[in-house]
Structure 1
Amino acid sequence: MAIKVSDRAREWLKSKGGVATVRLSPRHGCCGGGADITVAEARVPDAPERYTCVEQEEVTLHIDPALVDQDLRLDVEGFMGMKKLFVEGASPTRSKQ
């Protein structure tokens, strides 16, 4: 797994407790279609045992197993104290079970 955390994202995460979750979030269309969108949140996941945990320079990352083989980049955007994390490089496929 290759996940890069920008310097500004790392500093922002450290100010928020030093932990992030990168996961898939299902989105459903109005006509029955759907897609999984990769999201990042500055929090511990609800079920951490279901995630791959990576320690990286004072930041703990919980990565969804479906994203482990992706080259990801975690960064932060926003202004005037209104910042949020975002992920680049993810292209997961939805599995049918």
Structure 2
Amino acid sequence: MAIDVTPRAREWLRRKGGVVTLRLSPRHGCCGGGADVTVAEARAPDEPERYTRLEFEDVTLHIDPSLVDQELRVDVDGFLGLRHLFVEGTSPTRARK
């Protein structure tokens, strides 16, 4: 597993409660089709038993099992109170109808 949480993101997450969920979020195109995009949310998942839980330098990560073998980097972007998490790296490919 190669999931990295940058020091800047860890500090931001500690101020937000120290928990992050990495999951897939479906995105749909305007003309059909779609893709799953990896997103990071500064909260625990609704169903934590469905996720892999890891402790990483005072931050608790809940990771969708389909992302465990991916190389991902979690960082934070924005300024002042308008900061948000983002994920860089690969995401699993799933065909959508």
TM interval, shorter chain, is over 0.9
The normalised TM-score by structure 2 is 0.94
The runs of 5 or more residues in structure 1 that have no matched partner are: none
Quick one: distance in 2 between partners of 1:80 and 1:32? 37
Give runs of aligned pairs for residues 65-80 of structure 1, distance below 5 A.
65-80=65-80
Give runs of aligned pairs for residues 1-97 of structure 1, distance below 5 A.
1-94=1-94
Identity %: 74
Deviation digits for residues 14-46 of structure 1, max 9, x if unmatched?
A: 000000001000011122201001100000001
The normalised TM-score by structure 1 is 0.94
Stretches of 4+ aligned residues off by more than 2 angstroms: none
Superposition RMSD in Å:
1.2
Deviation digits for residues 67-93 of structure 1, max 9, x if unmatched?
A: 111011110000122100000112211
The runs of 5 or more residues in structure 2 that have no matched partner are: none
Work out the number of aligned pairs and report it: 96
